[in-house]
Amino acid sequence: MKKTGAWLTVYALEQVGVTHTFGIPGVHNTEIYDELNKSKSIKPVLVTHECGGAFMADAISRTTDQIGCMVIVPAAGLTHALSGIGEAYLAGIPMLIISGGIRTDTGRSYQLHDIDQHKILAGITKKSYKAESQSEIVPMIFDAVQTAKEGEPGPVFVEIPVNLQLFKGEINDLPVYQERKKSLQADKTAILKAAELLTGASSPGIFAGWGAKEATEELIQLAELLGAPVATTLQGLSVFPGNHPLHTGMGIGKYAVPASESAFKTCDCLLAVGARFGEIATGSFGMEVPEKLIHIDINRDVFNKNYPADVVIHADAKEALELLLSVIKGGSKVSERSVAVKALILSEKKSYKNEWADHLSNDRVNPALFFQALREELDDDAIIVADDGNHTFLTAELMEIRKSKHFISPTDFNCMGYCVPASIGAKFGNRNKQVVGIAGDGAFLMTGMELITAVMNQLGVIITVFNDGELSQISQGQQIPYNRKVCTELGQINVEGVAIAIGAEYLKMNKNSEIEDTIRKAVILAGEGKVVILDIMVDYSKKTRFTKGIVSTNLGRFPFREKMRFIGRAMKRKISG
């Protein structure tokens, strides 16, 4: 039989379960878009910028069981998408990027978009492919999807030259997609050693990352069996329910919330599950880890990188935890410890909440009161999407997340502009769930116009803009050591003007007394399928524990003379104004 490459591409996407594609049609992919328009199971979504499209695809992968997919033009479409691809790569998120390619049948050089895309992508994809015939397209896409999902997931790239899309080629058959099942057996000796260390510890603890996202039930069982507090990475914030009495918060140490710092102060054995001990997760590597460290991860390359482990278990998190649970038994001492740990966590959380509530915000909105009211108004399975900035860590410290994969944000790649498009992607993949984005005004400026896509598709998303006229995370980082702000002041932005321009609903929150009513109105409007931009005059005067902690940690590493120079310069500037 003979089929065009465009037809075969769409057939393959349908087979692997793609439900949405994100991108912009162009000279080198219009044939694929024409075939997508005929598909009964795939919706092609037009984006404003391919960077936004990449974040939408990323959010599909993070919040559903599907793989996020882009269909883009080569060269400029690719380079626009690179930030989103890089974010997915460092975060371990599967993504399928389908790109058109220049003609390979003319012998001509210097064609439009003539660039080696695979060299550009070498450092931020698991693998890239280029089809040379129509018969290769379907098996190539199948293999790409398997590669994206296996082991530590990541993005893959498939280039389909435009001549293959346009013209028919001979194919022998149409294969049906069958997912490869690869089982990674955990070392039973390592499992027994880990169980021995955990049960023998006087104060065990658990540190969970995104790699444990499918193992929430096992984490809960193990934490309760051990009476162990559970802290998470930023990316893994949702993998352990925030309303569980053993949940402490993000991180361990002085950069973490008091509940986490206190609960782990005497930790003599730490079980790390699906966490790489990256810079953000460890507060610029300020985390103190006990000698008895057990590290479970599906990627063997992460072991012993920043913190040496006593036991390493190269395995899927869920399977490894199931094995641990099968050999660990509880006891009366564990019950006593559990009661004490839960009481400590509850007390510290209450104290920290009161500390924030008592903070005077004058005529602006107290973030803690906002997040408390937001939590009360939302369903347990609401999806929260944070951008990169001060609001990220306010969300991590003050917003309770109750379901796995229901909090997403940029992490190691740390790309601003993530929130708006990722909220759109999350809503496309979860039409029956509430989706709320938390963005700073600087991040909103980067990708806010992507909300046109949300309006066109009647996606009831709420985007909160924490408005203070600054790039606050960096400006606070400047203010503490430098006593000066450089290139971080945005000025006044007419957020309402953006809402009017794209046809979104606009609500403004000026002070604490307006919090509850404004949030309620936003939730009602979003429930009607309307896009809501919630403009919040936020009070950033109280710094997060994370901000204070990393500044202190990094300054503390400076040589004594340099440290005195920095401190002296800041004091001099403060006195002189």
- Residue 571, judged by CB atoms within 10 A of its CB (0-12, 13-18, 19+), counts as exposed
CB neighbours of residue 183 within 10 Å: 7
State both tokens at 517. 């009513």
DSSP run (H or E) holding 385: strand 383-386
Query: Which H helix or E strand runs over 155?
Result: strand 155-161
415 and 391 in one domain? yes
Say if 344 falls within a structural domain. yes
pTM of the model: 0.95
Reading phi first (left if > 0) and then psi (alpha if -120 to 50, else beta), residue 304 is in left
CA separation for the pair 136, 170 (Å, rounded): 11
> Is the residue at 555 inside a domain?
no
Q: Where are the alpha helices (DSSP H) in 309-382?
A: 317-327, 332-357, 367-377
Q: Are residues 140 and 268 part of one domain?
A: no
Domain boundary among 315, 349, 383: 349
Q: Which range has the worst mean pLDDT, 67-71, 224-228, 547-551?
A: 547-551
pLDDT of 565 > 90? The answer is no
Residues 155 and 207 reside in one and the same domain = no
Residue 179 domain flag: no
CATH at 535: 3.40.50.970
pLDDT attached to residue 564: 77
- The contacts of residue 439 (CB under 8 Å, 6+ apart) are 386, 387, 389, 391, 419, 420, 448, 463, 464, 465, 466
Q: Are residues 203 and 240 in the same domain?
A: yes
Of 321, 349, 377, the domain-final residue: 349
Residues 19 and 129 in one domain: yes
pLDDT confidence tier of residue 470, bands split at 50, 70 and 90:
confident
Rounded distance, CA 455 to CA 500, Å? 11
- Domain of 111 in residue numbering reads as 2-170
CA angle 123, 425, 165 (to 5 degrees): 65
- Are 534 and 464 contacting, i.e. CB atoms less than 8 angstroms apart? yes
Q: Report pLDDT for 548.
A: 87
Distance CA 283, CA 551 (A): 9
In a domain? residue 183: no
Tokens read off for 80:
């626009």
Q: Return the structure tokens found at 92.
A: 């371990």
In this structure, the number of other CB atoms found within 10 A of the CB of residue 544 comes to 23
CA distance 215 to 239: 8
pLDDT band at 553 (very low <50, low <70, confident <90, very high): confident
What's the mean pLDDT in 539-544? Answer: 92
| Four-point Cα dihedral 287, 186, 197, 222, nearest 10 | 80
Residue 557 lies in a domain: no
**Distance, CA of 74 to CA of 29 (rounded, Å):** 9
Q: Bigger pLDDT: 414 or 112?
A: 414
On average, the pLDDT of the chain sits at 94
481 — pLDDT class (breaks 50, 70, 90):
low
Mark whether 212 and 117 lie in a shared domain. no
Q: Is residue 558 part of a domain?
A: no
Residue 477 confidence (pLDDT) above 70: no
Residue range 424-455, pLDDT digits in tens: 999 999 999 999 999 999 999 999 999 999 99
Higher pLDDT among residues 198 and 481, named by residue: 198
Residues 381 and 410 both lie in one domain:
yes
Whether 88 is in a domain gets the answer: yes
**Residue 182 is assigned to a structural domain of this protein:** no
Q: What is the pLDDT of residue 66?
A: 96
Contact between 146 and 107 under an 8 Å Cβ cutoff? The reply is no
Same domain, 332 and 218: yes
Each residue's pLDDT tens digit, 223-255: 999 999 999 999 999 999 999 999 999 999 999
What SS3 state is found at 320?
Answer: helix
Q: Distance between CA 543 and CA 419 in Å, rounded? A: 22
3-state helix, strand, coil in the chain (%, to 5): 45, 15, 40
Nearest CA-CA partner of 218 in 313, 299, 326, 298: 326
Residues counted in the chain:
577
Can you tell me the mean pLDDT for 81-107? 95
Specify the DSSP element, H or E, that contains 5: helix 5-15
- The yes-or-no verdict on residue 473 having pLDDT over 80 is no
DSSP single-letter state for residue 540:
-
Of the residues 349, 375, 400, the one at which a domain ends: 349
Does one domain contain both 9 and 73? Answer: yes
Does one domain contain both 437 and 343?
no
In terms of domains, do 344 and 457 share one? Answer: no
The pLDDT tens digits of the residues spanning 264-302 come to 999 999 999 999 999 999 999 999 999 999 999 999 999
**pLDDT given at position 331:** 63
Tell me: do 410 and 312 sit in the same domain.
no
Q: Please name which of 147, 93, 145, 96 lies closest in space to residue 409, comparing C-alpha atoms.
A: 93
> Which of the pair, 331 or 529, is modelled with greater confidence?
529
Q: Report how far residue 418's alpha carbon sits from residue 180's, in angstroms, rounded to the nearest whole number.
A: 32
Number of folded domains in the chain?
A: 3
Strand, helix or coil for residue 231: strand
pLDDT score for 476: 66
